[in-house]
Each structure stands twice: as C-alpha cells, then as structure tokens.
Chain A
C-alpha cells in the first residue's frame, strides 16, 4: 500500500514518515506542500493521504477539495494534521471529505494506530 505524507515542516514530515515506516504494509512518499502532493499523485496511486492544513501555495483544505473532486481519489482515506485550536479548519476539512484528523504534537503510536485503523490493517 502507498501512503503520501504532505507537510511543509521538515521535522514534522520526517517524524510522520518515521511513524508510518513502522507499518510494514506501507510504502511512504513525502510531499512539501499541496502542489508537490498533486505532482506526486499524478505519477503514482496512493491508498492513504496524510496532510497538514497550513501550508504555502496550496494548503491542506484546497488539497482535500481537489482530491474529492478527482474520481480516482473520491474514496481514498485522507487524514489531516491540525493544531488543537484550529477547530474551524478541522471541521471544514472533515466537511470537505477528510476521514479523520491528528492533533499536534503528534505521537508515533497515535499516527500508526489511526492509519492502521483507517486502512483496516491488523495490529502490530
């Protein structure tokens, strides 16, 4: 299975990739922002997308909207990364079609568990 991590903060992105790389069934690709994500999506099919909301150029909300308008990504699970205070962004992303959210500061076990659950993968 292929996962795409979209996050403009390099440390955050690396930590999410680190967490997801612990899931043996996943192959993880990184994107710096929404535009980079669309570029990656054009060349590869992903089974799950984990994206930050606040990013330059094309933010996470616009990315979710674009993906849900794309026939190939209508049903692909999208997990958004938000801060605790960003309730409005979170609600908008969920309304646009995101499946779940993770709140910063993230913890690897939390990310792994949510991705496993979303993809219907077994524990451990």
Chain B
C-alpha cells in the first residue's frame, strides 16, 4: 500500500466528519427556524399587520449568516479535498516515473555487465548478480546443453553444489519442454515452465540455438512473487546469458589471429 493510499481513508474520514457536523448544524438551524416560526405565529393577531420583532429579525439574520458560513466552509473543504486528490495523483505519477527510471537503470547496468563478460565465469557471475540482487532470486541452477549427448548438465548453482543436481534429458513434453521449445530468448508472456520444484525454467538462447536453462528454485525470504519489472530483466538474462556462454565458448576455442584491415572490411556487410 502506498503512502497516498494510506492517506485516503483519513481524507474520507475528515470529509465524513465534516458532512456529519454540517448536517447536525443544519438540523439545529431548522429546529431553531421552526421554533421561531411557532413563536411568531403565536404572537400574530388575526387581521392585524404584525411585523417581526427586532429580536426575531436578529435571529433570522444570525441564522442566515450561519448558513453562509457553513456554505463557505463546505466550499473550502471541497476545494481542499480536490487539491489533496490531485496532489496524490501527482505523487503516484512521480513514484511510477521513479520506478520506471530505476528499472531502466537496472536494465542498462545489466546489459553493460553482459557485454563486458568475456569468459564463462564472468557470464555466470553477471547472471547470478542480476538474478540475486536485482530480481531477488534466492536459489537457482543453471544447466547447459551438452549437444553431443543431448542432455542438460548442471554447470552452476546458487544456493548449493551443482554436483548435487543430476543431468536432465531434454524434455519433450510438459511445462519445461514448453518453456524450452520457444525457439528464441524468453519474453514476458512466454511459458514460465513452473514445476513442483521450480518457480520458472528460463531458457537461454543464442539466436535460435538453445544453450541452456536456468531453473529458478526460490526467491529471497523477503520476496514472494515476480514483480512486473522482473520480467524485463529475465528477458535480458535469457538472451544475454545464452549469447555470453556461446561467445565465451567460441572465444575459448578461437585461434588468435591479428586483426587486418582487408579481412575485417571483408566482413562488413557480409
């Protein structure tokens, strides 16, 4: 609940209290008018030209002034209530912009980290830091596809030893197969691949090549569910971790060749 939400009942209470007081005073006013009317009727002589006594005229004047004061007070309360509501709307909007700003900054920082990761270790560290510190994941296992044997093997685990996790045959049906079978990096709205022992199976793709999967097993204690802003980060992890692992693999097996103008120009537009 936001601070503004917390203040709304207070404003309602104030408005209700004011209206209650307004109507009580109104009742008193009507009662006084009726009493005054009765008194005047009794003092009237049939057929004569009875005028209000100075006391009665004063009473009417005083009551009229009370009515004016109450109307003025009501208008002031209405104006204040409108002001508070528009101020609350402004603060909501400001908070929403702050959240969006923070989210974009997190995406920017995470992207920069992935682009700077040249080894598998660096890719794993970056993925771990983003999942733990930005998303609030408590434990996960990262499996990589062994393409020769067509299995997923545990390479990294946060919250335990990866060796404790068995290899997995590539699933062909069920929620995990559905999550892994999308053919590209995960996007918000894609299958989550939730199972009894996992909140999500996040596929790791490099283009259309399935590189691995992160099985998200738990949140940090203070987190219960994914927030809207988490999905953008999960999308980023899905694509960048896959590309990062593949790049690191290629780099580890590449032959060191000096950069030459003709050779690199040949690659442009190719």
Question: Real complex partners, A and B?
Answer: yes
Residues of A within 8 A of B (CB): 9-12, 14-15, 18-19, 83-85, 103-109
Question: Are B133 and A9 in contact (CB-based, < 8 A)?
Answer: yes
Question: Are A104 and B109 in contact (CB-based, < 8 A)?
Answer: no
Question: Are B129 and A11 in contact (CB-based, < 8 A)?
Answer: yes
Question: Are A18 and B220 in contact (CB-based, < 8 A)?
Answer: no
Interface size, chain B (Cβ < 8 Å): 23
Chain B residue contacts of A84, Cβ below 8 A: 220-222
State in angstroms the CA–CA spacing of A10 and B109 once bound together: 9
Question: Are B106 and A15 in contact (CB-based, < 8 A)?
Answer: yes
Question: Are A105 and B135 in contact (CB-based, < 8 A)?
Answer: yes
Interface flags for B121-143 (1: CB within 8 Å of A; 0: not) read: 00000100110111110000000
Q: Which of B95, B105, B135, B222 has the most CB of A within 10 A?
A: B105
State in angstroms the CA–CA spacing of A8 and B100 once bound together: 26
Question: Are A11 and B130 in contact (CB-based, < 8 A)?
Answer: yes
Is B102 an interface residue, CB under 8 A from the partner? yes
Q: Which residue of B lies closest to A103 (CB)?
A: B222
Chain A residue contacts of B192, Cβ below 8 A: none
State in angstroms the CA–CA spacing of A14 and B105 once bound together: 9
Which 7 residue pairs across A and B have the least CB separation, nearest first?
A105-B136, A108-B102, A84-B221, A14-B109, A18-B105, A12-B133, A11-B129
State in angstroms the CA–CA spacing of A106 and B221 once bound together: 13
30 residue pairs A–B, Cβ–Cβ below 8 Å:
A9-B129, A9-B133, A10-B129, A11-B110, A11-B126, A11-B129, A11-B130, A11-B133, A12-B129, A12-B133, A15-B106, A15-B109, A15-B134, A18-B105, A84-B220, A84-B222, A85-B221, A104-B132, A104-B220, A105-B133, A105-B134, A105-B136, A105-B223, A106-B133, A108-B98, A108-B101, A108-B102, A109-B95, A109-B98, A109-B102
What's the least CB distance linking A18 to chain B, in Å?
Answer: 5
Q: Which residue of B lies closest to A111 (CB)?
A: B102
Q: Which residue of A lies closest to B135 (CB)?
A: A105
Chain A residue contacts of B135, Cβ below 8 A: 105
Given contacts A108-B102, A108-B105, 4 further A-B contacts (CB under 8 A): A11-B130, A83-B220, A104-B136, A105-B136
Chain A residue contacts of B101, Cβ below 8 A: 108
Chain B residue contacts of A12, Cβ below 8 A: 129, 133
Q: Which residue of A lies closest to B134 (CB)?
A: A105
What's the least CB distance linking B82 to chain A, in Å?
Answer: 22
Chain B residue contacts of A14, Cβ below 8 A: 109, 112
Within 8 A of A (CB), among B218-243: 220-223
What's the least CB distance linking A20 to chain B, in Å?
Answer: 12
State in angstroms the CA–CA spacing of A19 and B98 once bound together: 10
State in angstroms the CA–CA spacing of A19 and B103 once bound together: 11
State in angstroms the CA–CA spacing of A12 and B136 once bound together: 12
Q: Which residue of A lies closest to B113 (CB)?
A: A11
Q: Which residue of A lies closest to B105 (CB)?
A: A18
Chain A residue contacts of B99, Cβ below 8 A: 109
Question: Are A15 and B129 in contact (CB-based, < 8 A)?
Answer: no
State in angstroms the CA–CA spacing of A85 and B139 once bound together: 13
Question: Are A105 and B110 in contact (CB-based, < 8 A)?
Answer: no
State in angstroms the CA–CA spacing of A11 and B134 once bound together: 9
Question: Are A15 and B220 in contact (CB-based, < 8 A)?
Answer: no
Chain B residue contacts of A18, Cβ below 8 A: 102, 105, 109
Question: Are A105 and B109 in contact (CB-based, < 8 A)?
Answer: no
Q: Which residue of B lies closest to A21 (CB)?
A: B105
